[in-house]
C-alpha cells in the first residue's frame, strides 16, 4: 500500500503510526509525502484563505488517480463532504480532544492568572471566539506553522501563551509544554480533534476493508460522526467558529456543541444525548437546536464580514 501524507512532523508521526499498525497486521506499506496548499500559505490566517480542503486536495487527487492507496489526515482537517469517489474508510481511536494552554517560558501562571489584556496566539476562529466569550479583555494574535514552529514563535515573542491541540503536543512528545488543558466549560474542541481519518477510493473495497478491520475504533467513529454531522448542518469549516465534543458514557452518546461570535459577545451552546447508532441524527438535531437559539445569525454575520467586497464599475 502507498500511504499519502503531508510532510509536517506531526503529519509524519500520524502516517508512520498508521503504517506501523498496518505492517503489524501483515501489510506492506510505503509512505509518500505531499505539500498541500495549507502548508505553503503560512502568512495568512486559515479563515482568510477561504478554501475547503486546504490540507487535503493534493492527496485527494493522488487517491483518485491511483498514485496512492490511502491518505492519513488529522480528521479535523478533513471536510465533512469528501470529493466524489472518495470515502472515509476508518477513524482511529481518539487521542485527548482538548485544547491546551502553552505558556511563554517567562509566564509562570495558568489561564486564570493571565493579566488584563494578556496576549494569546492562535489562528483558529473557534478558539478566538470562545476565548473572547470567556475573557473579552484578551488580545488574540494569529500564528501559523507546524507545532514546533508555533512553539518557537511563542518562545521568541512577548505573548503570554498560545493555544494548541493537546493531541499534537502529546504525539510529538511536547506535552511537557502543556501548562493547562483547557476546561471544556471554557473551550469546546474542534470537530474530530484528536482523531485520525483514513481516506481511500470508494472503488477500492479491498483496501477499505483492510483499513476498517485494522484501524477503526467504534466509539470514536460514533463520536466524530455526530460532531461532523453537526458541522455539516451548520455549513462550517475553518471560516466559522463551530465547536463540538462527543463521547460515549455507559453506552450513551453525549454531544456538546457551541457557536460564538468572533468578539465573544454572542455565545450559543447546547447539549444532547442519544444512542451511538443514531450519531448522525443526534448531530443534525443539535445543530438545529443551535440554529434555533441564534447560531444562524452569528454565522451569517461572520460569513458576510468575510465575503469579498464586490463593487459594480
HEC letters along the chain: CEEEEECCHHHHHHHHHHHHHHHHCCCCCEEEEECCHHHHCCCCCHHHHCCCCCCCHHHHHHHHCCCCCEEEEEHHHCCCCCCCCEEEEEECCCCCCCEEEEECCCCCCCHHHCCCCCEEECCCHHHHHHHHHHCCCCEEECCCCCHHHHHHHHHCCCCCEEEEEHHHHHHCCCHHHEEEECCCCCCCCCCCCCCEEEEEECCCHHHHHHHHHHHCCHHHHHHHHHHHHHHHHCCCCCCCCEEEEEEEECCEEEEEEEEECCCCCCEEEEEEEECHHHHHHHHHHHHHHHHHCCHHHHHHHHHHHHCCCCCCC
Q: Is the dihedral of CA 283, 286, 291, 296 positive or negative?
A: negative
Nearby residues of 166 by Cβ (< 8 Å), 6 or more positions away = 95, 96, 97, 98, 99, 100, 175, 178, 181, 194
Cell of 163: 493555544
Catalytically annotated residue among 77, 99, 204, 256: 77
Catalytic status, residue 77: yes
C-alpha pair distances (Å), 297 with each of 70, 105, 129, 300, 304:
39, 40, 15, 5, 11
Active site residues: 77
Amino acid at each position: 500500500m502507498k500511504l499519502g501524507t503531508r510532510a509536517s512532523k506531526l503529519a509524519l508521526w500520524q502516517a508512520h503510526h498508521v503504517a506501523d499498525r498496518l505492517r503489524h497486521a501483515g501489510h506492506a506499506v510505503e509512505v509518500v509525502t505531499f505539500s498541500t496548499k495549507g502548508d505553503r500559505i503560512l502568512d495568512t490566517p486559515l479563515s482568510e484563505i477561504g478554501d475547503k480542503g486546504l490540507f487535503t486536495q493534493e492527496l485527494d487527487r493522488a487517491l483518485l488517480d491511483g498514485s496512492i492507496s490511502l491518505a492519513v489526515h488529522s480528521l479535523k482537517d478533513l471536510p465533512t463532504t469528501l470529493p466524489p469517489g472518495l470515502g472515509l474508510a476508518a477513524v482511529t481511536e481518539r487521542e485527548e480532544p482538548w485544547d491546551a494552554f502553552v505558556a511563554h517560558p517567562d509566564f509562570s501562571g495558568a489561564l486564570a492568572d493571565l493579566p488584563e489584556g494578556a496576549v494569546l496566539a492562535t489562528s483558529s476562529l473557534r478558539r478566538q471566539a470562545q476565548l473572547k466569550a470567556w475573557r473579552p479583555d484578551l488580545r488574540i494574535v494569529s500564528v501559523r506553522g507546524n507545532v514546533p514552529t508555533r512553539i518557537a514563535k511563542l518562545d521568541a515573542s512577548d505573548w503570554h501563551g498560545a493555544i494548541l491541540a493537546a493531541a499534537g503536543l502529546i504525539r510529538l512528545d511536547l506535552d511537557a509544554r502543556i501548562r493547562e488543558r483547557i476546561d471544556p466549560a471554557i473551550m469546546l474542541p474542534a470537530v474530530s480533534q484528536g482523531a485520525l481519518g483514513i481516506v481511500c477510493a470508494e472503488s477500492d473495497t479491498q483496501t477499505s476493508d483492510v483499513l476498517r478491520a485494522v484501524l477503526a475504533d467504534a466509539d470514536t467513529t460514533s463520536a466524530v460522526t455526530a460532531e461532523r454531522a453537526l458541522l455539516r448542518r451548520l455549513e462550517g469549516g475553518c471560516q466559522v467558529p463551530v465547536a463540538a465534543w462527543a463521547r460515549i458514557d455507559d453506552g450513551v452518546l453525549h454531544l456538546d456543541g457551541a457557536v460564538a461570535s468572533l468578539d465573544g459577545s454572542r455565545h450559543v451552546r447546547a447539549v444532547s444525548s442519544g444512542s451511538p447508532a443514531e450519531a448522525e441524527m443526534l448531530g443534525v438535531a443539535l445543530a438545529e437546536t443551535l440554529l434555533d437559539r441564534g447560531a444562524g445569525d452569528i454565522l451569517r454575520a461572520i460569513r458576510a464580514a468575510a465575503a469579498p467586497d464586490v463593487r459594480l464599475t
